[in-house]
């Protein structure tokens, strides 16, 4: 017995023939070759069997009493369940086989008796192969139709969202950052009409203060992947400035890499936020300072000695008041920096001195949390506001220490950056006359989608950070403003669970 018949039959064949000798002969021959054979002597029985369990192929005698082969075939082709099954007609040598009719009623081939084993097998296999291929093709076709249908539906949905979205949306090419489509909300926000925008870049339209950075961000999108909520000063056609947040997604339009830019106009929100923040901060500062004075007085014992419980309550009140004062001061600092009311007082200072002073200031905190502080300073002259830079370095060190575990280390190092090797956030190699300060920790790390946003006001990776770690979520926003006022750059790289490295890149005075 051939191997296949031991496992799976090659195919299921139904033989319909009123001559038992023929049936037996065909059945034995095909079973021997590994086919599963069902044989019946009547057309009506064959039709019932085929309908109940459709076979892969039917061998059908032409001349049968009651219902001849042509009629059986017509019934098979009229039934959805059996229509596709290939039918091969069998005719005896003396029979008149109407070949035209055989094909007309849906037969795919015919065999004449007496049977030639090889010929019968070859024809059966041939038609089984054709049938299988047809099935595959049909399945593939159905899959493709389904895909086309789904794609069309998705495109329709996208087009609907694009047109009717209240958010301004633009699509630009990655290669040149040229607009290829914008939605009505974008036109409303910008004041331009569609024809003025299509084909132009943000820089050509003068859409804001930092159009070059936007173009670079679009061009780097294939490397960086999606970006969220980048703040951008947008300039309308009439010259009005708006603050918008842009999120970027990579899009493939007929093989052309494009950027989908979704904007969120936060001008009004910012204005209200600023107004509210400055009002609250100013209103809070005076009473908080006097509360702190009162708490100091209580702690000094001049108004009587507190018992242990009283000391504990006083200590909680002092910690919380200090935190509030820090928060208010940070907010006012930021507000003043944003509105240009704080001028940096730049003077000659030494980078090594700054690093050493910052490390000394943070040593007590590091000791308390059992974190090692390792310093690699470089002696180089800076033209900077040393108080403000110190504020930046201590804030970065404080974050590195507080997000580390006991036994971890924090490194603060500085190097003179070479023209190659140092890559800033925007992957622009910096020129050689820069100082690169790195603060590296082996703490909990920062998730990739938070690497940019933590430099925004009140942004913390974990909402419980301010409670558990005592921060305000303003430190990095202040650092970024200070560094920008020194024409420098600040950014972070991090691996979750492994640690973070904050980079501060500062220009050196021209003579160095
Ligand atoms: P905070 O006062 O909360 O520390 P920052 O603006 O300095 O405010 O930092 C914002 C947030 O960024 C932190 O709350 C924390 O979630 C995250 N972060 C900053 N530095 C680190 C660091 N070295 N390791 C892990 N997370 C950090």
Cβ 473 under 6 angstroms from ligand 1: yes
144 sits in which H/E element: helix 117-164
**Helix intervals (H) in 369-448:** 386-402
Cβ 481 under 6 angstroms from ligand 1: no
Cβ 410 under 6 angstroms from ligand 1: no
Judged against a pLDDT cut of 60, whether residue 30 lies above it is answered with: yes
- For residue 343, the 8-state DSSP code is P
Judged against a pLDDT cut of 60, whether residue 328 lies above it is answered with: yes
257 sits in which H/E element: strand 256-265
Closest atom of ligand 1 to 478 CA is 6
- CB atoms under 10 Å from CB of 337, counted, come to 20
Judged against a pLDDT cut of 70, whether residue 511 lies above it is answered with: no
Q: What integer pLDDT is reported at residue 469 of this predicted model?
A: 66
Percent of the chain with pLDDT over 90: 62
Q: Ligand 1 test: best mutation among 369, 402, 476, most atoms within 8 Å of CB?
A: 476
**Residue 365 — very low, low, confident or very high, per pLDDT cuts 50/70/90?**
very high
Q: What integer pLDDT is reported at residue 466 of this predicted model?
A: 62
Please give the Cα distance from 140 to 414 (Å, whole number): 62
Comparing C-alpha atoms, which of 104, 30, 24 is closest to residue 69? Answer: 104
Q: In this structure, what is the dihedral angle of CA atoms 13, 16, 18, 22, given to the nearest 10 degrees?
A: -30
Question: Looking at ligand 1, which residue's alpha carbon is closest to its atom 18?
Answer: 399
Strand partners, 262: 169, 247
Question: Looking at ligand 1, which residue's alpha carbon is closest to its atom 11?
Answer: 460
Cβ 392 under 6 angstroms from ligand 1: no
Considering the chain, what is the average pLDDT of its residues?
88
**Residue 467 — very low, low, confident or very high, per pLDDT cuts 50/70/90?**
low
Judged against a pLDDT cut of 80, whether residue 428 lies above it is answered with: no
Q: How many residues does the chain have?
A: 512
Judged against a pLDDT cut of 60, whether residue 512 lies above it is answered with: no
Q: What integer pLDDT is reported at residue 5 of this predicted model?
A: 41
Judged against a pLDDT cut of 90, whether residue 31 lies above it is answered with: yes
Cβ 444 under 6 angstroms from ligand 1: yes
Residues 375-416 have pLDDT tens digits of: 999 999 999 999 889 999 999 999 999 999 999 999 999 999
Secondary-structure class of domain 3-137 per CATH: alpha beta
Average pLDDT over residues 216-243: 89
- CB atoms under 10 Å from CB of 3, counted, come to 7
Q: Which fold has domain 165-265?
A: Beta-Lactamase (3.30.450)
Phi-psi region of 276 (alpha: psi -120 to 50; beta: other; left: phi over 0): alpha
Closest atom of ligand 1 to 461 CA is 16
B/e letters for 66-97, b = 16+ CB within 10 Å, e = fewer, are ebebbebbebbeeeeebeebbbbbbbeeeeeb
Closest atom of ligand 1 to 474 CA is 6
Question: Looking at ligand 1, which residue's alpha carbon is closest to its atom 2?
Answer: 471
Judged against a pLDDT cut of 80, whether residue 74 lies above it is answered with: yes
Closest atom of ligand 1 to 455 CA is 6
Angstrom CA distances, 161 to 149, 169, 174, 184, stand at 18, 10, 22, 11
65 alpha carbon to ligand 1 midpoint, in Å? 91
Judged against a pLDDT cut of 80, whether residue 318 lies above it is answered with: yes
Q: In this structure, what is the dihedral angle of CA atoms 400, 403, 407, 410, given to the nearest 10 degrees?
A: -10
Judged against a pLDDT cut of 50, whether residue 426 lies above it is answered with: no
Give the three-state DSSP class for 338.
helix
Q: Which fold has domain 347-507?
A: Heat Shock Protein 90 (3.30.565)
Domain ranges of the chain: 3-137, 165-265, 269-339, 347-507
338 alpha carbon to ligand 1 midpoint, in Å? 21
Average pLDDT over residues 135-147: 94
Structure-block tokens of residue 195 = 């024809």
């Amino acid at each position: 017995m051939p191997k296949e018949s031991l496992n799976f039959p090659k195919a299921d064949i139904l033989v319909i023939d009123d001559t038992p000798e023929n049936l037996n002969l065909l059945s034995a021959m095909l079973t021997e070759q590994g086919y599963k054979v069902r044989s019946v002597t009547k057309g009506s029985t064959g039709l019932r069997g085929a309908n109940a369990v459709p076979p892969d192929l039917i061998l059908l005698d032409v001349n049968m009493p009651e219902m001849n082969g042509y009629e059986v075939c017509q019934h098979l082709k009229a039934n959805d369940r059996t229509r596709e099954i290939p039918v091969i007609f069998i005719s005896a040598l003396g029979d008149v086989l109407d070949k035209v009719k055989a094909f007309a009623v849906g037969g795919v081939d015919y065999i004449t008796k007496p049977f030639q084993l090889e010929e019968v097998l070859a024809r059966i296999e041939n038609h089984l192969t054709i049938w299988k291929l047809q099935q595959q093709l049909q399945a593939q076709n159905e899959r493709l139709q389904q895909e086309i249908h789904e794609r069309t539906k998705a495109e329709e949905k996208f087009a609907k969202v694009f047109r009717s979205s209240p958010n301004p949306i633009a699509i630009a090419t990655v290669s040149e950052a040229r607009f290829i489509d914008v939605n009505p909300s974008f036109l409303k926000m910008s004041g331009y009409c569609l024809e003025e925008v299509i084909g132009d870049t943000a820089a050509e339209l003068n859409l804001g203060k930092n159009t070059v950075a936007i173009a670079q961000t679009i061009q780097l999108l294939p490397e960086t992947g999606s970006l969220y909520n980048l703040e951008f000063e947008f300039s309308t056609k009439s010259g009005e400035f708006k603050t918008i947040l842009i999120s970027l997604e990579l899009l493939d339009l007929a093989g052309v890499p494009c950027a989908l830019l979704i904007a969120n106009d936060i001008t009004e929100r910012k204005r209200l936020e600023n107004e509210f923040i400055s009002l609250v901060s100013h209103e809070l500062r005076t009473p908080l300072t006097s509360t702190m004075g009162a708490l100091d007085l209580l702690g000094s014992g001049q108004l009587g000695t507190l018992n242990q419980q009283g000391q504990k309550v006083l200590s909680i009140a002092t910690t919380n008041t200090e935190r509030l004062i820090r928060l208010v001061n940070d907010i006012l600092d930021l507000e003043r920096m944003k509105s240009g009311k704080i001028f940096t007082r730049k003077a000659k200072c030494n980078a090594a001195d700054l690093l050493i002073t910052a490390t000394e200031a943070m040593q007590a905190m590091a000791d308390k949390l059992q974190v090692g502080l390792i310093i690699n300073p470089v002696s180089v002259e800076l033209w900077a506001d040393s108080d403000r830079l110190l504020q930046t370095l201590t804030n970065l060190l404080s974050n590195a220490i507080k997000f580390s575990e006991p036994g971890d280390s924090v490194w603060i190092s500085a190097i003179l950056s070479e023209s190659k090797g140092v890559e800033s956030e925007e992957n622009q190699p910096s020129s050689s006359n820069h100082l690169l300060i790195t603060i590296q920790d082996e703490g909990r790390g920062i998730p990739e989608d938070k690497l940019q946003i933590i430099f925004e006001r009140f942004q913390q990776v974990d909402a419980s950070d301010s409670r558990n770690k005592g921060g305000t979520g303003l430190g990095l926003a202040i650092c970024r403003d200070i560094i920008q006022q020194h024409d420098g750059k600040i950014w972070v790289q991090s691996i979750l669970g492994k640690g973070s490295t904050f980079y501060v890149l500062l220009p050196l005075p021209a003579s160095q």
